[in-house]
Copies of this chain bind each other. A is one copy, B any other.
C-alpha cells in the first residue's frame, strides 16, 4: 500500500504546494495565477480583472451559536472583497454559493442574504450569480469576488523593496479578542446556563462579528497618488502576513512594538484575559485590515491619511524579520498565524 500522509502533517501551505505544482498558464488573459490575494486576468491594455475566492464552513470558520446569521452574510462578503482591496483594486461583483442542511429555515437563509445584500450595498457590489444546494450537515458558503484595478496601480505581495515603509490600516487584535469573549460566554452558558454578558465589549465583538474593509484608505491612497509597492490583507495575523510579503519579495523587515496600533478596548479585554496585547495584534486573525509597503519618499503624504500607521521598514533579506520591543530588544518574528481553525 502506498504511504498515506495526514493533512495535519503537511499543513495548508504544504498541501497547496503539492496540488498546484502542475498548474500551467496557457492563456494570454491569465496574467498571474496562484500566489497572491487574487488571481489577475487581463482583457484590456490598461486594466486588470481580479478574482478571489473563499470557502467558509460551519464549525470551522464560524459558530452559529454566537454568530447572528445576518452578520455572517455581511462578514462573508467582507472576507472576500478584502482580497480585492489587497491588490489595490475595486471590488465590483460577487457570486455566492451556499450548501445548507434541512435544519435551516427559509427565513434563516433570507437573513443570511440580508447581510450579504447589506454588505453589497455598503461596498457597491453587484451580486451576479451563485449556486444553492443541500448539505448533509451545516452551512457552507463559497464566495467569489471580482474586481478591477488599473495596470499601473496593482499591488502584488512580491514587490516590496528595501527601505520601503511598512504600514497598517486601523488597529489589530480586536477581532481575536472579540472571539475570546464569545467563546468564554458560550462556555459559561453551556456549563451553568448563564445568559451571555456582552455589554462593554461592543467594539471587539463588532470587529469579530461584523468587520469592515478599509475601502476609504484605498481611495485616500489613490487621491494622494500613493501606489503601495506591496500589499496583503491581514486575515491570519500581522506576523504571518509579513512573512508572506518578505518571502515573496525576498526582503527582511523591522517592525516596532510601540508603533503597532491596538485599540484601547482591545487592550482592556486583553488585560481581563491576562493576555499581552501584542500577541493578538501579531498573531490574531480576522482583522481584515491591510498591510502594505510604500516608498520612503511617501512618508509625508501617508502621514496625512487618518487610519494608517507606519510600523517599520523593509530591510535586506539576510537581515531577517524582526520586532523591536519598546525596551529596545530585537526579537525574531514567528510565522505563527492564526489559522481560522477552531478545532
Interface set of A (CB-CB < 8 Å, partner B): 2-10, 12, 15-16, 18-20, 22-27, 29-30, 33-34, 38-39, 41, 43-44, 47, 49, 51-55, 57-61, 92-93, 95, 97-100, 102, 104-110, 113, 117, 120-121, 124, 126-138, 140, 142, 144, 146, 148, 340-341, 343
**Minimal beta-carbon separation of A42 from chain B (angstroms):** 9
Pick the contact of A29 from B29, B92, B132, B134 — CB < 8 Å? B92
A9 CA / B51 CA spacing, docked (Å): 35
Whether the Cβ atoms of A128 and B33 lie closer than 8 Å is: yes
B97 touching A129 by the CB < 8 A rule?
no
- Identical copies of this chain, number: 2
A130 CA / B108 CA spacing, docked (Å): 28
- For A113, what are the chain B residues with a Cβ–Cβ distance below 8 Å? 19-20, 22
Residues of B within 8 A of A23 (CB): 117, 126-128
Least Cβ–Cβ distance between A40 and chain B, in angstroms: 8
Q: Which of B55, B92, B104, B106 touches A18 (beta carbons < 8 Å)?
A: B106
Q: Is the CB of B22 within 8 A of A117?
A: yes
Main DSSP-derived SS at the A contact region: mixed
Complexed CA–CA distance, A41 and B95 (Å): 12
Give 24 A-B contacts (CB < 8 Å), ordered by A residue.
Answer: A4-B105, A4-B108, A7-B106, A18-B110, A19-B109, A20-B127, A24-B120, A24-B121, A27-B93, A29-B92, A30-B93, A33-B126, A44-B44, A51-B146, A52-B129, A55-B99, A55-B131, A57-B133, A57-B136, A58-B136, A60-B99, A61-B133, A140-B140, A142-B142
Interface centre among A54, A142, A146, A343 (most CB of B within 10 A): A142
| Contact indicator B60/A129 (Cβ below 8 Å) | no
CB neighbours of A93 from chain B (8 A): 27, 29-30, 39, 41, 51
Decide if A137 touches B140 in the complex (CB within 8 Å): no
With a CB–CB cut-off of 8 A, which chain B residues contact A120? Answer: 24
**Which residues of B lie under 8 Å from residue A146 when comparing CB positions?**
41, 51
The answer to whether A134 touches B57, judged by C-beta atoms less than 8 angstroms apart, is yes
Cross-chain contact A105 with B6 (CB below 8 angstroms): yes
Known: A99-B57, A109-B15. A128 touches B22 (CB 8 A): no
Tell me which residues across on chain B come within 8 A of A9, comparing CB atoms: 106
A82 to chain B, nearest CB (A): 13
Task: Please give me the residue from chain B that is nearest to A99 by CB atom.
Answer: B57
Which residues of B lie under 8 Å from residue A133 when comparing CB positions? 12, 55, 57, 60-61, 340
Residues of B within 8 A of A38 (CB): 129
